[in-house]
Structure 1
Amino acid sequence: METNRYPFPDLNSLPEDIRAKILEVQDKAGFVPNVFLGFARRPAEWRAFFAYHDALMLPETVGRESGLTKGDREMIVTATSAANQCLYCVVAHGAILRIYEKKPLVADQVAINHRKADISPRQRAMLDFAMKVCQNAHEIDDADFAVLHAHGFNDEDAWDIAAITAFFGLSNRMASFSGLQPNPEFYLMGRVPKAKPAA
């Protein structure tokens, strides 16, 4: 199996704000997703990357409403990351997608062919738009917006779809060129329902 091309920095050597955020993520997830350490070798870029990430994926943190659900956003990442052949992002965001949508098969379906996935017509239209931004953004025109509008999306939602697609295009390329590997934990997340505690 391939290994990360750039060694991760030691957590204790990182600036305090970055270290605190990584420990917060570890506390919540039970592990540190490799992207947090992989990008931490350049603190200024780490801060910029995660500020933009959070503005797009957690819009409530910047006081902005979005017509996209958390599942919608992860679905966009999974589908377009697959188009960009990014192993890390497909595996990591596919795991989160399975959890948000409560569908163990959806990430694999969306990554392979969203047109045949078990998703709503609204989500299919959203991913059609995202894939066009991913692969042929220069061809986007009014007709593409009209399809989104017919499914209840507005122009701000279209911006979100495009911005998430574009941002993860950057993330995909950085993860792929640097050999960033998915954490093993991601592969099983959301695939098997959690056992209910005994009464």
Structure 2
Amino acid sequence: MTTTAEAIVIGGGVMGASILYSLTSKGIKNSILLERSTVGSGSTGRSSGAIRMHYSTEVNARLAFKSLEVFANFDEIVGGDVGFVETGYMVFAPDHAKEGFRDNIEMQRAVGIDTRVVSLDEARELAPAFRLDDDEHFAWESRSGHADPSATASAYISKARSLGAKIILDTPVLSLDIGETAAHRVVTENESFEAPIVVIATGPWSGEFLSRLGIDLPLLPT
């Protein structure tokens, strides 16, 4: 039996769930998510849930900044309580890395992120339980915090389902055949699926999965 769809997402962690939501919210209603176990059963269920924007590459900083606005207004944008708490976030750097550290802060501020370099005394006021040394450098993001990763994945899944997506659990993908035309074929034990769009969102298991396609991605779960 073969089921056709507009898009297929492989992987039911928070990334796969958010991708599925994005597809359906943009009008690709006939979307299917395939998960080998349960929603959030992989690295999502083991995540600390930190929401922060300190990255050394601009594209990651921009993505994190955009995601902060979603988490801060999650119930309004997606629906549901994902437990976002704005605690602030402190970043440390050793003295030998101070130039790159300050360059990162300047880049992040240019993006629009509320971050700034703070002195040792202020860092101690912000984080009195931390042991801080005078040969370290510090930055503070006032709007960062944490959220519940599993609740986030579940909320995205619920919204995507309400928009027409189909979620199939306990269904490992056995193979993926890249079509020469528009359709790609995803094969599971009991059923096959075809779609012009297939998104692989298998997290740290992507290296193992892609090796079946002859793609060498040096990524292993630890």
TM-score (norm 1): 0.26
Higher strand proportion, which one? 2
TM-score (norm 2): 0.24
Select the structure of larger CA radius of gyration: 2
